[in-house]
Every structure is written in C-alpha cells, then in structure tokens.
C-alpha cells in the first residue's frame, strides 16, 4: 500500500473523528462485514480495525475465492489429475490448500503434473504446446474472473483447441450475501461491498439487501479514506434507521455493471447451485458450463471422490461467516502460519487469516483472544 501523504493523514484523522462522533449515538455495538479479501488486507495494512470506535466491529466475509472453494472441489481436481494423460493448471494460491487427502502440492510431489498458471489464457497456451496431454484448468473465482475464462473458451473454440478442459468452481457473490443475510446465526448490521466484483456485476445486484433484509450496504474502494467514508455512510444509515445501498465507488462501478463482460460470461456459463466452504450449499451461487461448452467441461468426466474432510481444528468456516475473528482460532499463529498453513484462509494471499497474521498479529483483538484462550474462556 502506498504511503499516505500529510494531507491524506489529516483527512483520515478528521474522518475517524467523525466516525467516532457518529458512533456515540449508536444504541448498541454494531458489526459491519467487509466482504472482500482485498478490503481485509487494506484494513489490516492501514491499521483501521484498531482505530474503530468501541461500538463498532469489522468482521471479514466470504470474499476470498480460494478460501470459499470447498474441499470437494480440490478432491475432484486431484481425482482428475490421477487419470492418465491429464495435467492440472492452477492458480498458485490453490496449490497448498488442503484437500481431503493432501493438496495439489503433495500431488505434484508424488509426480503428477500440476502447473501454476497466472490466467486461463496461460492454460490455453500450454494446451496448444502439449497436444498429447489433457490440460485441466481449475477455474475458481468470482464475477471478475469468469469473463476471462469465457474469453479463453471463445479462443479455444476459434483455434480448435480440444485438449483444454475447465473444472468450473466459479462463484457469484450476491447469492452468498443473500444466504448470509438469511442465516439467523450471522449477525451483521451492514456490509462493505467488494469494489472489484461490483465493476462487473454492477451495484444494483445488491439492492435486495436493504429491501428484503434491512441491511445497509456500501460499495467502496480500497484506499483507507474510501473505507472510512464507507463506514461513516453505513453508520449514518443505521442512525437514521434507513438501510439502503450506496455506491461510493462511482468512478469504476456503475449500477448496471459491465454488460460486455456479463454477456461473455453468460454465453459460456449459467447459474447453478454451489457448495461454499463455511456456508454450505447455496442455490444459484455458482456457475456451470453450458451445453455448448460440453467438450471443454472437466466436470463431465466421471471420477470417484473420497468423503470430503476438512483439516482438523481449522475454523475457516466460521471465519468466512464472520462468526469469529482469525485469532479466535486456537491454531492461529501457533500451528497455523503462512509458512505452515493448516487452512485455506491462511494459504491464500487474500485470506482473512493471512491478512490478520501479516498486519494485525500484535493488535489488541489478537491479544484479547489469546488471553481469553489462556484463561479457558470461550474465544
């Protein structure tokens, strides 16, 4: 993150003061959720969480694509990799995420070909170079990633590339927020909505949050001042008892989103029920490939899957629902570190546990959670 200039620091101090003044009138402690992993890192890097008013809590949500990818998806990928002639292509973040029996890293150590790629186009290039192999691209991500996979399929079709397959694990964020809003165990008063995803989806897809669930929500950018402005706006809405949707990132997010990217995705993908780590199955929250993409669809290849098993003691599911903060997990910074991660939220660079480890290990909430555990109190 770039260093703040003197004027920015003065503005941030004034905004914090404004937030604290507003928060004094809140009738109780409120909880806001930052949905996106990039926000979690920005908040941690700027030290914002420690500066919040006592009556305000910020929890992380399900906006890290690697973290919400369920263990069953990785099991499926591994089962495909064990078939003759198959090579997996994966984003690097997925490489060390535990599956039921190991991980892609372990699979590679056993001698199965697992390649790290930076985009689906890289996987396509590899497929063209290795005509005698079946390249399977592990397609995970939110609405920002899906259009690039769709564009790759367009190119594969144009060039007649048939040895590239896609294992679709793509997710849609709005249905997940709908599931969270309906979950009686999740208590949030407002949402800091993801800026990047909203560029594609548009802000309008979140309007149901206020209409159906009376949840305040703000689309926000990632600079500390933008995050503070979003928190002020959320607080104002709560005080006025008028939950609504506000778009504070209008320079890049429009109400209707990016129609070209949406149409590209819709040509190849269609909504489907999907399983999320921590949230379970959610109707229409994922994408499957359409019939026209059948030749490239790795999910149509029959494989035998083991019973899905999460890493023992890992509480990623609760972290992803905002039910606990990462330091509340007894393994945090003990058995689980970025060098030796136990769960997906510590593996992924966008994961909440990784963000807290990197930026907030020495903070008061971390110390409080550790002290509570030492006393045997529930975290």
Q: Where are the beta strands (DSSP E) in the chain?
A: 30-36, 56-63, 86-90, 114-116, 134-141, 164-170, 190-193, 216-219, 245-247, 269-276, 280-289
> CA 156, 162, 167 angle in degrees (round to 5)?
80
Binder to ligand SF4 among 192, 353, 366, 369 (CB under 6 A)?
353
Residue 37 is a binding residue for ligand SF4 (CB under 6 A) = no
Report the residue number, 297 or 350, with the smaller CB distance to ligand SF4: 350
Size of the site for ligand SF4 (CB under 6 A): 14
Report the residue number, 161 or 347, with the smaller CB distance to ligand SF4: 347
Report the residue number, 173 or 316, with the smaller CB distance to ligand SF4: 316
Instruction: Yes or no: say if 78 and 114 are a contact pair by the CB < 8 Å rule.
Output: no
Integer Cα distance of 220 and 266 in angstroms = 26
Integer Cα distance of 281 and 300 in angstroms = 20
Q: Stretches 86-94, 148-156, 230-238, 345-353: which one binds ligand SF4 (CB under 6 A)?
A: 345-353
Integer Cα distance of 66 and 90 in angstroms = 11
Coil/strand/helix, residue 169: strand
Instruction: Yes or no: say if 82 and 102 are a contact pair by the CB < 8 Å rule.
Output: no
Task: Give 274's Cβ-side CA count (13 Å radius).
Answer: 29
- Shortest spacing between CB 168 and ligand SF4, in angstroms: 25
- Shortest spacing between CB 376 and ligand SF4, in angstroms: 19
Residue 342 is a binding residue for ligand SF4 (CB under 6 A) = yes
Instruction: Yes or no: say if 131 and 156 are a contact pair by the CB < 8 Å rule.
Output: no
Integer Cα distance of 299 and 144 in angstroms = 21
Report the residue number, 106 or 290, with the smaller CB distance to ligand SF4: 106
> CA 254, 259, 265 angle in degrees (round to 5)?
125
Report the residue number, 11 or 337, with the smaller CB distance to ligand SF4: 337
- Shortest spacing between CB 323 and ligand SF4, in angstroms: 11
**Contacting ligand SF4 within 320-339 (CB under 6 A):** 326, 329, 331-332, 336
Residue 314 is a binding residue for ligand SF4 (CB under 6 A) = yes
Residue 23 is a binding residue for ligand SF4 (CB under 6 A) = no
Q: Stretches 135-143, 175-183, 232-240, 310-318: which one binds ligand SF4 (CB under 6 A)?
A: 310-318
- Shortest spacing between CB 282 and ligand SF4, in angstroms: 20
Phi then psi dihedrals of residue 59, to 5 deg: -115, 155
- Shortest spacing between CB 91 and ligand SF4, in angstroms: 18
Report the residue number, 284 or 318, with the smaller CB distance to ligand SF4: 318
> CA 45, 21, 193 angle in degrees (round to 5)?
45
Residue 79 is a binding residue for ligand SF4 (CB under 6 A) = no
Point out which residues bind ligand SF4 (CB under 6 A).
314-316, 319, 326, 329, 331-332, 336, 342-343, 345-346, 353
């Amino acid at each position: 993150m770039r260093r703040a200039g003197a004027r920015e620091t003065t503005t941030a101090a004034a905004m914090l003061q404004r937030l604290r003044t507003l928060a004094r009138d809140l009738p109780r402690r409120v909880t806001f959720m930052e949905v996106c992993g990039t926000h979690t890192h920005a908040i941690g890097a700027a030290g914002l969480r420690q500066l919040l008013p006592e009556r305000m809590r910020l929890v992380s949500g399900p906006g890290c694509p690697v973290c919400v990818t369920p263990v069953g998806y990785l099991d499926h990928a591994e089962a495909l990799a064990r078939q003759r002639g198959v090579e997996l292509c994966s984003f690097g973040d997925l490489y060390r995420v535990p599956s039921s029996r190991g991980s892609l890293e372990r699979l590679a150590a056993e001698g199965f070909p697992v390649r790290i790629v930076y985009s689906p186009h890289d996987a396509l290039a590899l497929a063209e170079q290795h005509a005698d192999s079946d390249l399977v691209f592990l397609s995970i991500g939110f609405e920002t990633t899906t259009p690039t996979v769709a564009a790759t399929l367009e190119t594969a079709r144009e060039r007649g590339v048939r040895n590239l397959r896609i294992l679709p694990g793509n997710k849609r964020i709005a249905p997940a927020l709908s599931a969270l809003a309906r979950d009686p165990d999740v208590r949030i008063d407002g949402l800091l909505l993801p800026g990047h995803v909203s560029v594609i989806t548009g802000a309008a897809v979140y309007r149901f949050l206020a209409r159906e669930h009376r949840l305040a929500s703000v689309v926000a950018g990632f600079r500390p001042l933008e995050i503070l402005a979003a928190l002020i706006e959320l607080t104002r809405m709560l005080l006025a008892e008028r939950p609504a949707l506000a778009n504070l990132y209008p320079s890049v997010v429009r109400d209707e989103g990016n129609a070209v990217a949406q149409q590209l995705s819709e040509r190849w993908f269609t909504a489907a029920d999907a399983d999320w780590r921590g949230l379970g199955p959610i109707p229409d929250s994922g994408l499957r490939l359409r019939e026209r993409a059948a030749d490239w669809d790795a999910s149509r290849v029959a494989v035998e899957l083991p019973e899905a098993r999460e890493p023992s003691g890992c509480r990623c599911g609760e972290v992803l629902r905002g039910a606990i903060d990462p330091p509340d997990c007894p393994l945090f910074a003990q058995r689980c570190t970025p060098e030796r991660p136990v769960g997906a939220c510590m593996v992924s660079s966008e994961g909440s546990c990784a963000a807290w480890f990197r930026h907030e290990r020495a903070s008061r909430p971390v110390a409080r959670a550790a002290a509570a555990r030492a006393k045997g109190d529930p975290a």
